[in-house]
Amino acid sequence: MTDAIVAKGLKVHFQTAAGLVRAVDGVDLTVAQGAFHGIVGESGCGKTTLARALIGLQSATEGQVQILGRDRSDWARSDRKGFARAVQFIFQDPLGSMSRRQTVGQTLEEPLQIHSVGDAKARRARVAELLDLVALPATVLDRLPRSLSGGQRQRVSIARALALSPQVLICDEPLSALDVSVRAQIVNLFARLQAQLGLTIVIVAHDLAIVREVCSAVTVMYLGRVAEEGVAKALFADPAHPYSQALLSAVPSPDPRIEATRPRILLAGDPPSPRNPPPGCRFSTRCPVVEPRCRETEPALRAVQHGGAAACHLADANIHAMI
Amino acid sequence: MSRHSQNGPIYEVEGLVIDLYTPTVSVRAVDGAGFYVAPGETLAIVGESGSGKTVMTLGPLGLLPEGVAVDLRGTARADGKDILSMSPTDLSRLRGGFFGVIFQDPMSALNPMLKIGPQLAEQARRFAGLSAEEAKKEAVSLLARSGIPDPEDRYDRYPHELSGGMLQRAMIALALAARPRVLIADEPTTALDATVQAQILALIRQIQKEDGIAVILITHDIGAVSVLADRVAVLYAGQVAEEGSAIDVLTAPVHPYTRGLLASVPDFRSNNATGTKEIPGIPPNQAQLEPGCRFADRCELVQPQCRTHRPPLVKVGAGPVPHRVACPVVMAAEGIVTHD
Ligand SMILES: Nc1ncnc2c1ncn2[C@@H]1O[C@H](COP(=O)(O)OP(=O)(O)OP(=O)(O)O)[C@@H](O)[C@H]1O
Ligand SMILES: Nc1ncnc2c1ncn2[C@@H]1O[C@H](COP(=O)(O)OP(=O)(O)OP(=O)(O)O)[C@@H](O)[C@H]1O
Ligand code: SF4
Ligand SMILES: [Mg+2]
Ligand SMILES: [Mg+2]
């Protein structure tokens, strides 16, 4: 089986007045075909930039990306339409991906028109089917995106991305504007599409409970790099990287009685600026178990107990730190 | 109405009805709903997307969606004053100083053409009455207080140069710049990772303690509710289905919708893979509402009278914080008596 996405040595640096921002700074990522791959990590650690760079919405400073076995930039250049059909992106901000003047119906029909899918009647039927898929009533068809609630808008953008039945779907925070019940509907929809159509999904998400529940694989990022990766359930059961441990510990319990008494790891300090990442381990400025060597040498990803890999000097296949 | 708090409510809405008219459809966004919040207290408003959480909370302040005609009825009081009959100038002053709002869509509140810092400083200068120099200091300290690293540098950045999470923190700083007495936070943490979310919730709580402000938290995130809320109101299709203390509503929910909602929250730490349960069906079409219980079409307990009579919100249990539920069917089935 070929991998759906393989990124090697990906870097995205932004030149700003204040200096070079290393938003993504050397990421290797492999997403298996048919995987439901979660990307999690601190706000600002480069998840959106990485997701955009994977599909070419953001040009990479360095590195290559292969999608479905083909070099992404070659593919996108030589067969723009074919690429757009196969690979779809859902934005963090749903309004940003829709025209303010188009109704929901037009928004959903547009990709079908551009790719000359069916006749007008078939397209209308497909639009109705898409609305059903994302559990929106037909009455939204005549409305403008701005007049919908946040969650309704997000579902429109999901429906639009699914219109052409893509093979790879990359979504940046598609769930955060949704309420939990609709979130469950959408996640179950993704899981169904994945099982039935072999769709590969990469999802940037902050809802770790959902990631644990539905993702097959997960990548934890910190400050532009991969801190840890592995099979979602295994990694979440026994995270090896101190940052992952702190991240998971911060997930609140839905029961206020448990939440009031639950021990928590609180991270001290702020994340460093990606303009000037610390030498050595990127987490060393906040790591509760930091050692002198952490501030000098950057730890490489190495195999750890849960079967995945982590970038921490104190972690290997036999043991890891517990904070 | 009995209040559990010593001090009366600082923001209180009753019998609110909001109709929205667009050229193509009219929607009853809020249908006879109400809520209250006291100083120092956090009220969480939860409910299905489109159930009216944002419109119900911000509508009485005149913060309604643009480009639609609005018909708004009911009562709304801030600090005991009727705000629905206020002049536009008084209302806008109240909005700027008395209420601080963290909007659901960060980009809608920040001007993309202006640097972050000066926008904060302007807000602080205008509503907290600071001099230009004090306002700049205040802006930097607000950025720092909101957990933004490198605040001096961020002061001079444009909104698009910040990550989603940082923008959200800038929004919080903006909402606090006027030193409000009621903070309305519409989905303040959904764009944030768990560690930053924990920081933001701790920040809101700390500010609440220091300044004794009332907080209204509108969210889908039951975890955030569990961390922050004293009371919870559950909204369904523009009506309050259930309200009560956070512990009552989250650990002993009564209304079938609340139960369905909580069942679809995966518990990160539970070891049995529950899967993600969904409530089957979709919410009613708010352009064509039928009489009766709004949840009837999706409810497992539905009875014929549910489709004809709107269930009243009645008090269940005798706890100090009123716990109210709008479902006589579940009460009858489980022998729950009213304490009204
Ligand atoms: N166009 C840009 N110019 C300069 N800096 C940028 C630009 N886009 C992103 N950045 C910076 O790159 C870093 C990574 O941003 P990115 O949006 O990828 O983070 P993220 O992980 O998606 O965060 P969030 O979870 O908050 O959405 C941040 O420090 C951000 O400020
Ligand atoms: N500009 C508008 N024009 C017409 N209808 C609108 C407009 N804004 C909101 N509505 C409708 O009003 C109802 C309530 O919307 P509101 O934004 O309050 O929902 P919400 O509970 O905050 O949802 P979400 O959780 O998705 O933010 C929805 O049915 C929505 O479609
Ligand atoms: S390498 Fe050192 S600083 Fe980095 S996470 Fe491991 S222990 Fe902490
Ligand atoms: Mg992002
Ligand atoms: Mg809303």
pLDDT tens for B162-184 read 876 777 778 888 888 888 999 99
- Which residues on B lie below 8 Å from A184 (Cβ)? 264, 276-278
Q: Do A44 and B247 touch (CB under 8 A)?
A: no
Contact B265 A254 (CB under 8 A): yes
Minimal-distance CA residue of chain A relative to B282: A135
Whether residue B4 is predicted with pLDDT greater than 50 in this model: the reply is no
Residue B99's pLDDT band (cuts 50, 70, 90):
very high
The whole-angstrom distance between A71's CA and the closest CA on chain B is: 29
Flag whether pLDDT at B286 surpasses 80: no
Query: ipTM above 0.90?
Result: no
Task: Tell whether the torsion through CA atoms of A90, A92, A96 and A100 is positive or negative.
Answer: positive
Residues with CB under 6 A from ligand 2: A 147-152, 179; B 20, 22, 27, 29, 47, 49-55, 65, 68, 104, 286
Q: How far apart are CA B51 and CA B237, in angstroms?
A: 4
Of B304, B290, B302, B310, the residue nearest B239 (C-alpha): B310
Per-residue pLDDT, averaged over B285-299, amounts to 84
Choose among A35, A36, A3: nearest CA to A186. Answer: A36
* Contact between chains at A252 and B196 (C-beta distance less than 8 A): no
Mean pLDDT for each 10-residue chunk of chain A (323 residues)? Answer: 92 90 96 96 91 95 96 95 94 78 94 93 94 87 82 86 94 81 80 84 92 93 97 96 95 91 80 88 95 97 97 94 87
pLDDT tier for residue B3 given thresholds of 50, 70 and 90: very low
- Closest ligand to C-alpha of residue B53 is 2
**Residue B1, pLDDT above cutoff 80:** no
Domain boundaries, chain A: 242-323
CB count, 10 Å around CB of A201? Answer: 25
- Side chain identity at B68, as an amino acid letter? V
So what's the pLDDT on residue A247? 94
Give me ligand 3 centre to Cα A295, in Å.
8
Ligand 1 center to B166 CA (angstroms): 9
Specify the residue with its C-alpha closest to ligand 2, atom 12.
B29
Restricting to B residues 229-248, those with a Cβ less than 8 Å away from any Cβ of A are: 229, 246-247
* CA separation for the pair B203, B146 (Å, rounded): 7
State the Cα–Cα distance between residues A191 and A36, nearest whole angstrom. 8
> pLDDT per residue over B210-234, tens digit each?
889 999 999 988 999 999 999 999 9
A265–chain B Cβ distance below 8 A for any pair: no
Tokens of B143: 């950025």
pLDDT, residue B173, reads 81
Of B166, B251, B261, the CB nearest to A257: B251
Q: For residue B150, list chain A residues with Cβ-Cβ distance below 8 A.
A: 270, 273
Q: Which atom of ligand 3 is nearest to the CA of A299?
A: 1
Min Cα distance A305 → chain B (Å) is 19
Closest residue (by CA) to atom 7 of ligand 3? A290
* CA-based nearest residue to B16, from B29, B33, B1, B28: B33
A305 touches chain B (CB under 8 A): no
A positions 52-111 inside 8 Å of B (CB): 92-93, 95
Indicate the DSSP class of residue B182: E
Query: At CA A17, angle to CA A14 and CA A22, rounded to 5?
Result: 25
The share of chain B scoring above pLDDT 90, in percent, equals 50
Q: Which two tokens stand for residue A135?
A: 């559990």
Tell me the per-residue pLDDT of A182-212, one tens digit each, with 9 for 90 and over. Answer: 788 788 888 888 887 789 999 999 889 889 9
- CB of B145 less than 8 A from some CB of A: no
Structure tokens of A215? 């993702």
| Binding-face residues of A in 100-159 toward B, CB within 8 A | 135-137, 139, 142-144, 146-152
| Whether B226 and A252 lie within 8 Å, measured CB to CB | yes
- pLDDT in the model for residue A20: 93
Distance of CA B51 from the midpoint of ligand 2 (Å): 7
Partner residue opposite B165 with nearest CB, options A44, A208, A253: A44
Identify the residues whose C-beta falls under 6 Å from ligand 1: A 14, 16, 21, 23, 43-49, 274; B 161-165
Residue A307 in contact with residue A218, Cβ under 8 Å? no
- Compute, in angstroms, the gap from residue B177 CA to the centroid of ligand 5: 23
- Closest-CA residue of B relative to A245 is B195
**Measured between CB atoms, which of B46, B195, B226 is closest to A253?**
B226
Q: Are strands B26-37 and A200-204 parallel, antiparallel or unpaired?
A: unpaired
Residue A319, Cβ density class (10 Å: 0-12 exposed, 13-18 middle, ≥19 buried): exposed
Instruction: Give the pairing of strands A217-222 and A225-231.
Output: antiparallel
- Say yes or no: A208 contacts chain B, CB-CB below 8 A: yes
Spatial distance between the Cα atoms of A263 and A219, rounded to a whole number of angstroms: 25
Q: B276–A208: do the CB atoms touch at under 8 Å?
A: no
* Among the listed residues B99, B103, B28, B23, the one whose alpha carbon sits nearest the alpha carbon of residue B60: B99
Which chain A residue has its CA at the smallest distance from B261's CA? Answer: A181
- CA A108 to chain CA centroid, Å, is 23
Contact yes or no for B104/B185 (Cβ under 8 A): no
pLDDT at B272: 57
Does B290 contact chain A (CB < 8 Å)?
A: no
**Sheet arrangement for strand B69-78:** B26-37, B11-21, B69-78, B81-82
The per-residue pLDDT for B5 is 44
Instruction: Give pLDDT, residue A8.
Output: 97
Q: What's the pTM value of the predicted model, to 2 decimals?
A: 0.86
**pLDDT class of B95 with cuts at 50, 70, 90:** confident
Which chain B residue shows the shortest CA-CA distance from A155? B49
Q: Which ligand 3 atom minimizes the distance to the CA of A242?
A: 5
Q: Tell me what pLDDT residue A189 has.
A: 82
